[in-house]
Structure 1
């Protein structure tokens, strides 16, 4: 933090790319770029393999702090909740991460004197900011897991305590905001603001990649809440008269079981890919499937950035009817919605999009119009307004 002519912003996150276009969700960085148009912006995030300890990305400064012996440090490499579900032994890294983040925030506050902190996820970032910088106005952004999961009574009390001390809380869909209201967050201190999508790269991918016939695409971390197992079963039962092939982009703890489930089917698992390749794959789809479901621990999507990217490239979308998702996809207008976990309905919707060219073209056109409402520029301005309000 160096420009004394502008307000200073400290951003805290735990999912952050190590390198440009490495396939790790970049929504925290994308928003930080927008925030940096008005604020002197520093992002503080846990160390991950191949990530520089300090770097500058455009107008955004980035610091990555160590929190565990490097050979075993993998809790924040991806999504923390999913990593804990995959390997319970990672629980030993949790207190180490919280303590290291506390120290890093204290040091950043002493050296940079931020005017406001923006914490992505209530736990651990919102908690740490509340403890480490009680005198700095705090904006907490919840993304899904920190509302829907972590449902044990002590954790709910902890979240209510964090939200009660925040200057403002943002969330990505209206159902999550209703939950905040139930937990005592006043209506004037919470706002629904989703993450945004960079329309430029999506537009470029749409221009250079043509949609292919019979191509179903699904993108996301291979975990329970993505619902990819239901997608495989829906396609298995779609009927021999409708040709299809499926490309699944992403990696995660469920990959082995999904590959086993897909045995004998025309399915390709690409693993994790960078944003450019993801956009090109989405643009090549006849239909993009977003079959999300609530996980057993209560976790579910807030508003998947992949869904916004699919809409922005002009894909025909079949998705689960969940809060957040239905803000982007309007049934039989900008895509088709089905009840989460309803495999026959998912199969019928996929069959329709694969076979009905007229409907498919309509969904593509309306999806692009819908995505425009979620441009990074529009979302960035809304977040900058919240940060200004928190300071004042």
Structure 2
């Protein structure tokens, strides 16, 4: 019996496995391919093939602008637009090219179901070009928390109301989608999965070598994420500035439009920027860290994190975590149980939490072990199973309506 066919629509996707671009869509699509013949349709990015086979995934990348200037989808679209407003010139091309590519793939591949990542822009394109195909829509945060002008909010409402199911990253996002008019039964909290192996239980947290005596070396902090406003990295840099000299070191993994400004803020401090890292290098960075910090904030546009995949990865890697008290983050990082939670934009509270963990290796080990255990439910295998079940449910609902 032939397997059902799944078409995945997204805008963030690695050019190559392990190139440092967030791979959560790829990881989930590979899990979905266990039950579905799966094709992925994404924008072209530098260094990527137009058509390729990645395991059981057939990936198609469409051009949308003259290649020399085509960079809107190279990273996070919303942040790319904020960083360089002239990129708005690429937006019409992206929508039109994706719509044309979608209609072509629908004719050739004839999918039974669509998995649409992000309400805008993919949800809009799927509404226009794929409305006859049942759809699962996944919102990861930026498209829901931001882009709330009246016409865009009305458009988002139409998309989530007609979707067969909608998945969100946290309970607050679920409430917002329901407020847009989605049926409560159709909206589920299912975050992206973390695809990093846990640190072996016998390995002390935060080291690859023997543990030095307390106070001999600085505590090693790590930040991982896009260098954009909503990640709140300025507050972490300021906390390092206020800490006693020589007590902390900070390693920053990631890239983005604010990198130059943040490097200027960190000038003269024990802070190193190492850029985007592949999966192997990222896991090595987690192993070096004593504490991984997620100082996220709500940005001036209203955008904020839903539930960063990097947070789940750091927990699964057994690190001691500090996160801010925002929806999604505070649903996974439980204060003094699986990490420490601090108010957002509160540098003094952030520094107190850092110093508490820096001074207490036993606390770091306890919280890291609890985080690793808690994060097992967010493994890519566990999350992939939930998404496969939901896709089958969306298909089944269509079949039930057809037989009525």
Q: Specify the TM-score bucket, using the shorter chain as the normaliser.
A: over 0.9
Measure, in 1, the Cα distance between the counterparts of 2:368 and 2:165: 36
Are 2:389 and 1:381 aligned?
Answer: no
Q: CA deviation at 1:283?
A: 1.7
Alignment of 1:306-325 (within 5 A): 306-325=310-329
Find out whether 1:30 has 2:27 as its counterpart: yes
Q: Residues 140 and 168 of structure 1 are in contact (CA less than 8 Å); yes or no, is this contact kept in structure 2?
A: yes
Residue aligning to 1:120:
117
- Name the residue aligned to 2:282: 278
TM-score for the superposition, normalised by structure 2: 0.93
Match of 2:139 in 1: 142
CA distance in 2 between partners of 1:50 and 1:204 (Å): 35
Q: Is the 8 A contact 1:319 1:325 kept in 2?
A: yes
- Match of 2:224? 219
2: CA distance, partners of 1:125 / 1:83? 17
Task: Flag the 1:67–1:163 CA change in 2: closer, same or farther, 3 A.
Answer: same
Residue 206 of structure 1 deviates from its aligned partner by 9.4
Q: Is the 8 A contact 1:205 1:313 kept in 2?
A: no
1:50 to 47, 54, 59: 47
Q: Does 1:333 align with 2:337?
A: yes
Once the two structures are TM-superposed, the CA of residue 215 in structure 1 deviates from its matched residue by 0.7
User: Match of 1:299?
Assistant: 303
Structure 2 gaps, min length 5: 212-216, 397-404
Of 162-171 and 7-16, deviating more is 162-171
2:233 maps to 1:228: yes
User: Please, what is the CA RMSD of the aligned residues?
Assistant: 1.6
Matched, 1:101 2:106: no
Post-superposition CA distance 1:103-157 (Å, at most 9, x none): 0110111011100000000011011011101110011000000110001111100
**Number of residue equivalences:** 387
Deviation at 1:238, TM superposition (A): 2.2
Q: Output the CA distance in 1 between the equivalents of 2:346 and 2:364.
A: 21
Q: Alignment partner of 2:393: what SS?
A: helix
Between the aligned partners of 2:278 and 2:365, the Cα distance in structure 1 is 27
Counterpart-to-counterpart distance in 2, 1:43 and 1:205: 37
Structure-2 separation of matches of 1:6 and 1:160: 32
5 Å-filtered alignment, 1:1-392, equals 5-200=2-197, 202-203=198-199, 210=207, 214-240=219-245, 243-392=247-396
- The answer for the alignment partner of 2:399 in structure 1 is none
Contact 1:116 / 1:138 at 8 angstroms: preserved in 2?
A: yes
Q: Please report the TM-score for the alignment, with normalisation by the length of structure 1.
A: 0.96
Post-superposition Cα deviations, 1:301-360, rounded to whole Å, max 9, x if no partner, equal 000011011001111111111111122211011110001111100010001111111211
Contact preservation (8 Å) 2:207, 2:290: no
Aligned counterparts of 2:316 and 2:297: Cα–Cα separation in 1: 23
Q: Note the C-alpha offset of 1:263.
A: 1.1
CA drift at 1:66: 0.5
- Cα deviation for residue 164 of structure 1 reads 1.4
Runs of 4+ in 1 over 3 A off after TM superposition: 202-209
Unmatched runs of 5 consecutive residues or more in structure 1: none
What is the aligned partner in structure 1 of residue 214 from structure 2? none
Deviations 1:250-273 (A, max 9, x none): 111111111111111011011111
77-86 vs 327-336, which moves further: 327-336
Within 2, Cα distance between the matches of 1:327 and 1:206?
28
Distance (whole Å) between structure 1 residues aligned to residue 200 and residue 263 of structure 2: 32
In the aligned structure 1, how far is the partner of 2:199 from the partner of 2:13? 24
